[in-house]
Structure 1
């Protein structure tokens, strides 16, 4: 996350630097008064922008310049060098920009430029809808609403969420916030005033019962109806629930919502021992967060290695060793058979003591609304390249959407936060008639203690894993290949190479 105020470093850009100090394509980190500024040169032009990503404060000086943009090394947000606009999630807020003057072979940074709203794009086809309804208050739903207003859409936006909290930064719920390293005010994606200020009718604790596609209405559980001209389904996924005896005890938790996270934190304040069921990304991030709170953690999972299905055996062995070094005890190739008070009985016959249990045994897409509306399903809601479902005017994005991925050549559905945000953005444009294909390269990140893992692309299957570097030394890049072609790349502390892999995958499509 972003750090507090620190003394600016680098050259004083108000005093200027020599033009020869900034080669074409180069970057220099400096400061303008007490603010960090990044200078970037593209040919004869020099741009001065804020030096830290507006998502989590990643250092853009360590990022990658691609044409007239700069990409964050941490989580692959992308910004326009000319305007500072956040072009791609996970960042939404723009960077500050400064005026730049060149004289006598020197570069001088002047005043901070006044921020201007992004220009309205041209080229929409068809009539602009007057009423847009979004079902879902997660990543995709929020990104769609935000993008609609950023595109100067003047019509009605109604956003139904069955959560009690406004859209939150869900990745943080299993990472820094759960670990006690992030304050609560970092969790909302935007403050509550954002919705009223942008005339977004956010309705919390709202349960949508059905969609009447023929009349173009959303029907709520209380029978109320809300009409729409365009509808976005962004209902996300829900945790798979335990079905074993004791699964409904009050100290057995799942982690999906802000309320879930706060309930786990409350338990953790007095607990000494926890059992985590599942060695998935969510399960092991929870384990790491609880270890940072000095809680004894046992992880129970049916796999031989954690995360092997996604990251392969070498990375799986590394992740297990990393967690064991930090005190986690694994019970692999085993499952919980029952929970009786503070005891978790395993299928192997072992019994574990637990003050509380967190079940991270997977999620399933919430496709019930789509199914009752008669939309075509295939292990998710089937959409075309424009994220439109089989019903005209109804779009789907995020965890429920199965889309034609041009990179793998397959129809895929992934449960990545950044993918959901980027799909929400694209769906917003297409609800306005812009006909923009979703061609984003899937990306996610995971955090385990001080080790970040970045993953670009999508490889459901591979026949070769090419390892560059040293996994144990936490300096590596793994290419997951099928028939000689890299479908995905996982990396630890290889940020520039991870960004480069993303760009390479994008350029395959052009």
Structure 2
């Protein structure tokens, strides 16, 4: 290997590195042959794992050691430093472990260890039949974790989607922009479901839940019995009430089919109108600009995303998109859509070959309401995600849970939250009593600028800014009554991770 290649990939860990080179963070990345490897200090021990997160290949060396785990700086996935297991979403696959030894004042990485043989068995008293309604973030994460926990019983997933579980955040980001191939989109390949004995049923509508009889009734009248049930029906895109929503060039974005349809329409379009300046709406705007379309954004607010991120960050996001050619029509709404244009309430119209409506989502509560479950702007669950019906759990976009960090019951529409709730629900479906107390987290990507948001702040009375928002190097604290309830950052990943740990410790 040339010296240039060695510098590019870090030190050759097979030759050893000085112990002091790990520094205060206790992390150092390098290589063994062609493999990128991370050394981590655990007290007086030194362990080694693969250096890249299995989610989006984030650099774990730039992350944070917490206990005997390391957290990814990009999207807060978490891995065991001893076993390599992915212990918290969004990563679902483990990293490999490597053997190490101390030679004098150096740490040497020897070889990759064989994967540990599965030794987890289903706990005594686990139910024989578990049914999951929904195959989004929460539903898939629950099924995947159940098998990792050693659950050996019948496991059925019912989905009204035509596609198996997909990486939904990619649908509005890289995949829509054309920079991620379709093979990156499925969370697992088709063989996974057969190998794990997960009965994944696609294009299946669920018409009713019979809680007393412990049965799920399908649209065709057949019934699927269960001992424990997880409701993970997710949310659906809000549609505009005015005329034009059913026109062929008008789309919402929620599923893989939606994203494919937008891509197909974009190939023969020159001008797009995005209605709504939400995270999804602006990610779509950025993706369509990447495809070379002229993009106009129509939204009623005065600044995009101000309600969530505040005025300073909202102004920055608007300027960022304008720098990339997006034209905003704020303080305005669409009054009608026809085949050639979008009419604006304030007057005038915009030509449009493609219209994407991104004005939010609503939780899919019909099944829960029909079954008589407690509802309060979502399905009410306890700290263990159990609904008002024993043996019936809910997770993801529909669940309203008692959040220890905000001190209130909240419902959050975030991908990582849904995945982590699915993982907690999996434990409790087989008899555990694990409380869901993860700090809500999401990320949003706009061109080359990532925004990481941690916590939950429906309101605040102060925003403190450290750094320079316009310079794309900042850390914002959202405070209420003097207490930090949420943070947002751009390229301050390690600070965001530390804030997560601080928020976790406050309530533990």
Report the TM range for the smaller structure's normalisation. over 0.9
Shift of 1:210: 0.5
What's the Cα RMSD here?
Answer: 1.4
Query: Relative to 1, partners in 2 of residues 1:485 and 1:18: Cα closer, same or farther, differing over 3 Å?
Result: same
- Tell whether the 8 Å contact from 1:139 to 1:424 is kept in structure 2 after alignment: yes
Deviates more, 1:94-103 or 1:253-262: 94-103
With structure 1 as the length reference, what TM-score do the two structures score? 0.97
- Tell whether the 8 Å contact from 1:279 to 1:307 is kept in structure 2 after alignment: yes
User: Counterpart of 2:37?
Assistant: 37
- The answer to whether the aligner puts 1:153 opposite 2:151 as a matched pair is yes
The alignment partner of 1:398 has SS state of: coil
Distance 2:54 2:172 in 1: 21
User: Counterpart of 1:452?
Assistant: 450
Distance 2:20 2:417 in 1: 40
Shift of 1:108: 1.3
User: Counterpart of 2:58?
Assistant: 58
User: Counterpart of 2:332?
Assistant: 334
1:327-383, CA deviations, whole angstroms, 9 ceiling, x for partnerless residues?
A: 001111111111121111010111100001000011000000000000000000000
Query: Relative to 1, partners in 2 of residues 1:385 and 1:119: Cα closer, same or farther, differing over 3 Å?
Result: farther
The alignment partner of 2:494 has SS state of: helix
Distance 1:319 1:190 in 2: 33
Shift of 1:214: 0.7
User: Counterpart of 1:88?
Assistant: 88
Report matched runs for 1:418-497 at 5 Å.
418-497=416-495
With structure 2 as the length reference, what TM-score do the two structures score? 0.97
Distance 2:136 2:6 in 1: 33
- Tell whether the 8 Å contact from 2:444 to 2:450 is kept in structure 1 after alignment: yes
Report matched runs for 1:353-372 at 5 Å.
353-372=351-370
- The answer to whether the aligner puts 1:230 opposite 2:228 as a matched pair is yes
Instruction: Report runs of 4+ in structure 1 exceeding 4 Å deviation.
Output: 5-8
Distance 2:234 2:187 in 1: 16
Shift of 1:106: 2.1
Distance 1:237 1:206 in 2: 17
Distance 2:121 2:410 in 1: 29
The counterpart of 1:392, out of the listed 390, 393, 399, is 390
Q: Give the aligned length.
A: 504
Distance 1:10 1:331 in 2: 48
- The answer to whether the aligner puts 1:380 opposite 2:378 as a matched pair is yes
User: Counterpart of 1:97?
Assistant: 97
Shift of 1:117: 4.6
Query: Relative to 1, partners in 2 of residues 1:411 and 1:117: Cα closer, same or farther, differing over 3 Å?
Result: farther
Shift of 1:325: 0.7
Distance 1:107 1:328 in 2: 51
Distance 1:119 1:275 in 2: 54
In structure 2, runs of 5+ residues without a counterpart are: none
- Tell whether the 8 Å contact from 1:24 to 1:41 is kept in structure 2 after alignment: no
- Tell whether the 8 Å contact from 2:121 to 2:151 is kept in structure 1 after alignment: no
Distance 2:404 2:222 in 1: 40
Distance 2:358 2:371 in 1: 30
In structure 1, runs of 5+ residues without a counterpart are: none
User: Counterpart of 1:107?
Assistant: 107
The alignment partner of 2:397 has SS state of: helix
- The answer to whether the aligner puts 1:250 opposite 2:248 as a matched pair is yes
- Tell whether the 8 Å contact from 1:8 to 1:34 is kept in structure 2 after alignment: no
User: Counterpart of 2:20?
Assistant: 20
- Tell whether the 8 Å contact from 1:170 to 1:257 is kept in structure 2 after alignment: yes
Distance 1:105 1:72 in 2: 28
- Tell whether the 8 Å contact from 2:172 to 2:283 is kept in structure 1 after alignment: yes
Distance 1:245 1:417 in 2: 31
User: Counterpart of 1:213?
Assistant: 211
Shift of 1:263: 0.2
The alignment partner of 2:377 has SS state of: coil
Deviates more, 1:113-122 or 1:142-151: 113-122
Shift of 1:118: 5.6
